[in-house]
Amino acid sequence: MAKKIIVVIGATGNQGSSVANTFLGLPEWHVRALTRNPSSDASKSLAARGAEVVRGDLADPSSLAKAFENANAIFLNTDYWEIYRPAKAALDAEGKAPEPASVKAFTNETANGKNAVDAAAAVPTLERFVYSALGSVSKGSKGKYTRSMHTDAKGTIVDYIETKPELAQKNSLIYPGAYVENPLLAPRFDPGTRKYAIHMAIREHLKMPIINPRESTGPFVRALIEDEAPGVKLLAYDSYLRMDDVVDRWSRATGKEAAYVFVTTKYLHEKMGLAYEHLDALDAIDEFGYNTGLGLIEPHQLKNKVQTKSFEDWLGEKDWSKELSA
């Protein structure tokens, strides 16, 4: 039998590489890895493992139409930060507020996402479309918090999928938790107190889903495509921990005592220089919960259990003698 084709957009990135690697291990699937740079080392590595590496750019609809030919499944992850980070750095250097960077990144990401959705909707062989989403903070907070535009961009793309009935009926959504390497989940050493602490604007009893995207995204996407009916919205995580438990697991892994300190987003903005692009999401989580009202299922509700390493496992595999000395 001919192999089914899955197109992985952003196949060299955190999430896309996991999806590509997972499906490369499934004999019934052929992986078509979509990347803007087929000559990169990461692209060559995928090709050496059997992936069909093709050039494709979300800003170039004609390249997508070609890359999506005869696809049975498509995984889409859009990138906000590739525009936001350099734009914000340029504004910071000029002493200007970062909001224009958010607008620029929002416009770019939503345009790219809509291009991919339009191209996918025109593929007659397509059986399943999986988009990596985030819950819109503006919508989830009923308009109270409006500056986390990276979440609103993905929420806008989710809404756009629904305007394409032929694609919406084939669509599933994966909502990844916070990445394991998110610096807000790691205690910092305070030279003044000579102690480690996480300073966070989420109360310690609230829970945070945490995922290693390079390892776990692929298995969850495989479950959505092979085991679940279309329409599933999955909150994907390896561990779902109270914030004070995050500190406890870090302390056990490192042997260093650490504290959890609840602070305001104003403190994080003024004392640590964090932008409200990130901080509005924390206020929304603290007040309204994590992705509430979206009808998400959790990993234990999947038809077939997906086995991934826990946050504690990930912490235990790190060389903390090097990490802490750095």
Residue 94: pLDDT band by 50, 70, 90 thresholds? Answer: confident
Q: What phi-psi label fits residue 142: left (phi over 0), alpha (psi between -120 and 50 degrees) or beta?
A: left
pLDDT, tens only, 18-46: 999 999 999 999 999 999 999 999 999 99
* Mean pLDDT, rounded, for 92-110: 90
Residue 322: pLDDT band by 50, 70, 90 thresholds? Answer: confident
Enumerate long-range contacts of 267-275, CB under 8 Å, 24 or more apart. 267/199, 267/201, 268/199, 268/201, 272/199, 275/88, 275/98
Alpha helices in the chain (DSSP H): 14-24, 41-48, 61-67, 81-93, 99-121, 137-140, 149-161, 165-168, 213-226, 243-254, 265-272, 276-288, 311-316, 320-325
Question: Where exactly are the structural domains of the chain?
Answer: 4-321
C-beta of residue 258 within 8 angstroms of C-beta of residue 187: yes
pLDDT, tens only, 112-130: 999 999 999 999 999 999 9
The closest of 49, 26, 53, 19 to 39, measured between CA atoms, is 53
Dmax of the chain from CA atoms? 66
The closest of 16, 37, 311 to 177, measured between CA atoms, is 311
pLDDT, tens only, 308-319: 999 999 999 999
* Mean pLDDT, rounded, for 49-60: 96
* Mean pLDDT, rounded, for 213-233: 98
Least confident of 80-84, 87-91, 205-209, 213-217: 87-91
Q: Annotate 166-192 with b (16+ C-beta within 10 A) or e (fewer).
A: ebbebbbbbbbbbebeeebbbbeeeee
Encoding tokens for residue 122?
């025109």
Quote the percentage of the chain above a pLDDT of 90.
Answer: 90
| Statement: residue 325 has pLDDT above 80 | no
Torsion sign across C-alpha atoms 235, 237, 240, 246: negative
| pLDDT at residue 163, as a whole number | 98
Overall CATH class of domain 4-321: alpha beta
| Statement: residue 110 has pLDDT above 90 | yes
* Mean pLDDT, rounded, for 149-157: 97
Length of the chain: 326
The closest of 220, 206, 236 to 298, measured between CA atoms, is 236
| Statement: residue 267 has pLDDT above 70 | yes
| pLDDT at residue 326, as a whole number | 59
* Cα distance between residue 34 and residue 57, in whole Å: 8
C-beta of residue 88 within 8 angstroms of C-beta of residue 275: yes
| pLDDT at residue 132, as a whole number | 98
* Mean pLDDT, rounded, for 174-180: 97
